Chains A and B, each alone.
Chain A
Amino acid sequence: MADKHVDEISGVETTGHEWDGIRELNNPMPRWWVYCFYATIVWAIGYAIAYPSIPMLTDATKGLLGFSSRAEMRAELAGAQAAQADYRERITSSSLEEIIADPQLRQFAVSAGSSAFKVNCAQCHGSGAAGGAGFPNLNDDDWLWGGKPEDIYQTIAHGIRYNSDEETRFSEMPSFTDMLKPEELRATAAYVVSLTGTPSNPTTVEQGRQLFADNCASCHGADAKGNRELGAPDLADAIWLKGEGEQAIIDQMRAPKHGAMPGWRQRLGDTAVKELTVFVHSLGGGE
């Protein structure tokens, strides 16, 4: 390329590259552009030294600044927790009544409880706390073990039929398969259904009433309104936990199913349980 070739038409020197008679004009980049490009190279070298950059076998170089996105996230989380610390301390030192009475504290507890609920409770109770068959709906005013803040707290803290906690709530419904004949089971179920609806065979209701008084009233109450001490459900209301209809009642009498819930205080701590309590209480059914 010793000979300089100048394009005749434009008067611009060419690079000497030629493809089928077409030559490339040598119009260099503007100098400011080139300097910017050099600056980015210098910057990249500095960046590679200061920050993690060069991949090694199992890791990458650490960089002089010791930056790590995990550490940054930890710091952000710590910052968020520090910002919440004041509220958390007040919740720890306040009673449930005090928390609920203070609008600001209540708002914080409801929000915190809501996110704790979605992580720990939604698996059974549903993300909207509406429950499902066998898992109580926490929005309504029907409470197995009580709907006052302290009742809810006790339930969340120690669980239900949770063997690892001595203070857990416990009760058990016996199986009536051996004690009652099949037609007696049907009659009892017919009576229970008659409390809120229409049984399939009204003629057995009177027999069922007597059977209920003999076998069931001790736990569910003579009026079938349940017993919160024992977690015995109200059978005279519109809400059915395990399923609606005579067959569901017969199934439960034959082979009782019992819900179980872990106690959460050991896992989440007292403050989180308080927040969960305030949240569940705020859903609309709280007493």
Chain B
Amino acid sequence: MLHKPDTETASVERLDAEPVNAAQVRNPLYEKRRKIFPKRVEGRFRRFKWLVMLLTLGIYYLMPWVRWDRGAHAPDQAVLVDLAARRFYFFFIEIWPQEFFFVAGLLVMAGLGLFLVTSAVGRAWCGYACPQTVWVDLFLAVERFIEGDRNARMRLDASPWTLDKLANRFAKHSIWLLIGLTTGGAWIFYFADAPSLLKSFVMLDAPPVAYMTVAILTATTYVFGGLMREQVCTYMCPWPRIQAAMLDENSLVVTYNDWRGEPRSRHAKKAAAAGEVVGDCVDCNACVAVCPMGIDIRDGQQLECITCALCIDACDGVMDKLGRERGLISYATLSDYAANMALATDNGTAAVDPRRVRDSDGAFTEKVRQFDWRIVFRPRVLFYCAVWALIGIGLLYALLSRDRLELNVLHDRNPQYVLESDGSVRNGYIVKLLNMIPEPRTITLTIEGMPAARMRIAGQAPGDGRSFEISADPDKVTALKVFVTLPKENLGEADAGFVLIADDPSSHEQDRYRANFSRPAR
């Protein structure tokens, strides 16, 4: 059935909702928390948030179970932080501890990405993707499923303890704890082979640290997501404070457009009939009732607002019912809002009069500024984009050009040199061959320079003393004790030092190391 909104007959339920986090109801200093019972809401932003939740939680819970074949010499888990073996696997990338700067670079990119997103579209991170928001959303969905919507929950909360209430609460907290358990459980699977860890976890013979981690993360998920909720954002998180520096007059923020909403009236029709000025806001409190942060968006920009946009959905629903344009509450920039406000108040000389923004036929005048998506691409955003991309390209370049065969040479320091009985001088080195791929290889280790010098490697056949074939274990460091001897007559060669070359003939990878050769002073 096609529903045509009819202003004359449409009725809007007026909600008995009062913001708990508003300046006028808040006491100074310490105050006991007042519970918030967000009402269910439907709309495009709500749908988008469900989608984001599905995506982010899906990735988080399922990623450790994704397999990735790396051959016989490396684990087959797509994402694995192997702390014991000091390896980090991410699909086709394997990172050794000394390559941790890749992770540091990604964290820098994440930080800059946060700046970028914030200056482009406001607190989108807080409103949609922050784990706190996502899990609170999930916990609220559970609460709503078991205890009902806002009014039912408020009644239940106020009612004395009955068996029914006890059962309700028990069910809710059990499911919350279960969600917490799977959350903490999923975390540990990133640090060990997921299937075998799950098995040993259930059989109670997993390492104690696994149980401790799960216990701690279960507790934090349960406490933060179920019990503390909006207090985490308001009191614990530093990000809302940093936001202030990130937002400017062109940032998108959830805005109550009082230039068309005021003066609000609960009896709009009566007031209009009496010739009074009325705005679009019917003061139904829908925006207040759905707010998970317990604020009234009509009070203007507030620190508590995480821009989850649920009030937009709620208000749009009401506007649809009343047959008015959506967007009484909308994403808007401060500059657009200020311009429209100036229009509605005749540059601040009079009270808001929505008639100034509307034509005679009720539509908005052309002077009303609407959001222009081009404002997103302003210099500040482009700058963040550029820095972000630059770091990304740098990391990508480093990743594609990095060595998978490395050579480290440590000169013996005690003694620095050894005088042999024939007058020749011998130096000792610890040579480390880093075979950073999960395949065994044969590496040629060659000495370049000091033509008279001869090399000897413990446990290797002498050969010609200039070049050795070393078999390097897969994904391991092969340490060799190397002695280099320079005859008495050729000691002059020592001053130039020499170069050790590790070479994989099959892949043409090569690493060189310039080493010093010490000899007696005279």
Q: Does B420 contact A (CB under 8 A)?
A: yes
Q: Does A84 contact B (CB under 8 A)?
A: no
- In contact, A284 and B421 (Cβ under 8 angstroms): no
Residues of B within 8 A of A139 (CB): 415, 418, 426, 428
The answer to whether A130 touches B418, judged by C-beta atoms less than 8 angstroms apart, is yes
State in angstroms the CA–CA spacing of A10 and B28 once bound together: 9
From A128, A137, A142, residue with most partner B Cβ within 10 Å? A128
Known: A282-B458, A284-B483. A238 touches B419 (CB 8 A): yes
Q: Contact: B488 with A284, CB < 8 Å? A: no
B459 at the interface (CB under 8 A from A): yes
Task: Scan A214-245; emit 1 where CB is below 8 A from any B CB, else 0.
Answer: 00000000000000000000100111000000
Contact pick for B420, options A27, A106, A141, A196, CB 8 Å: A141
Q: How far is the CA of A159 from the CA of B423 in the complex (A)?
A: 28
Q: How many residues of B contact A (CB 8 A)?
A: 20
Complex formed: what's the CA distance from A10 to B426 in Å?
83
In the complex the two chains form, what is the Cα distance from A37 to B419 in whole Å? 68
Q: What is the distance, in angstroms, from B277's C-beta to the closest C-beta of chain A?
A: 41
Q: Is B30 on the interface with A (CB-CB < 8 A)?
A: yes
A139 and B423 alpha carbons, distance in the complex (Å): 14
Tell yes or no: A16 within 8 A of B by CB: no
Bound-state CA distance A137–B483 (Å) is: 16
Known: A130-B414, A130-B415, A282-B481. A238 touches B459 (CB 8 A): no
Q: Once the chains are docked, how many angstroms separate the CA of A137 from the CA of B415?
A: 10
Q: Which of A10, A234, A284 contacts B428 (CB 8 A)?
A: A284
Are A238 and B420 neighbours in the complex by a CB distance under 8 Å?
yes
Chain B positions 165 through 180: 1 when the CB is less than 8 Å from some CB of chain A, otherwise 0: 0000000000000000
How many chain A residues touch B (CB < 8 A): the figure is 23
Known: A27-B30, A128-B414, A282-B458. A237 touches B481 (CB 8 A): no
Q: Is B422 an interface residue (CB 8 A)?
A: yes
Pairwise interchain contact B415-A128, C-beta atoms closer than 8 A: yes
Q: Give the shortest distance, in Å, between A273 (CB) and chain B (any CB).
A: 21
Interface of B is mostly: loop
| Set of chain A residues within 8 Å of B422, measured between Cβ atoms | 237-238
The B28-83 residues at the A interface (CB cut-off 8 A) are 28-30
* Contact between B418 and A238, CB atoms less than 8 A apart: no
Q: Known: A238-B419, A238-B488, A239-B421. Is A284-B426 also a contact (CB below 8 A)?
A: yes
Q: Does A127 make an interface contact (CB < 8 A)?
A: yes
Q: In whole angstroms, what is the CA distance A108 to B412 when docked? A: 20
Expressed in whole angstroms, the minimum distance between the Cβ of A54 and any Cβ of chain B is: 31
Cβ–Cβ contact A127 & B414, under 8 A: yes
Chain B 202-234 near chain A by CB (<8 Å), digits 1 or 0:
000000000000000000000000000000000
Determine whether A206 belongs to the interface, using a CB cutoff of 8 Å to chain B. Answer: no
Closest to B413 in A: A128
CB-based contact B421/A234 at 8 Å? yes
User: In whole angstroms, what is the CA distance A30 to B33 when docked?
Assistant: 13
Select the residue from A30, A127, A238, A284 with max chain B CB neighbours within 10 A: A284
- Using Cβ atoms and an 8 Å threshold, which residues of chain B touch A128? 412-415
For B459, give the chain A residue with the smallest CB separation: A103
When C-beta atoms are compared, the residue in chain B nearest to A106 turns out to be B459
Q: How far is the CA of A136 from the CA of B10 in the complex (A)?
A: 106
Chain B residues lying within 8 Å of A134, measured Cβ to Cβ, are: none
Residues in B neighbouring A238, C-beta threshold 8 A: 419-423, 488
CA distance A237 to B421 in the complex (A): 5
Chain B residue nearest to A238 (CB atoms) is B423
In Å, the complex CA distance between A234 and B422 comes to: 11
Q: What 6 A-B pairs have minimum CB-CB distances, sorted nearest first?
A: A128-B414, A237-B421, A130-B415, A238-B423, A142-B421, A139-B418
Chain B: residues with CB nearer than 8 A to chain A? 28-30, 412-415, 418-423, 426, 428, 458-459, 481, 483, 488
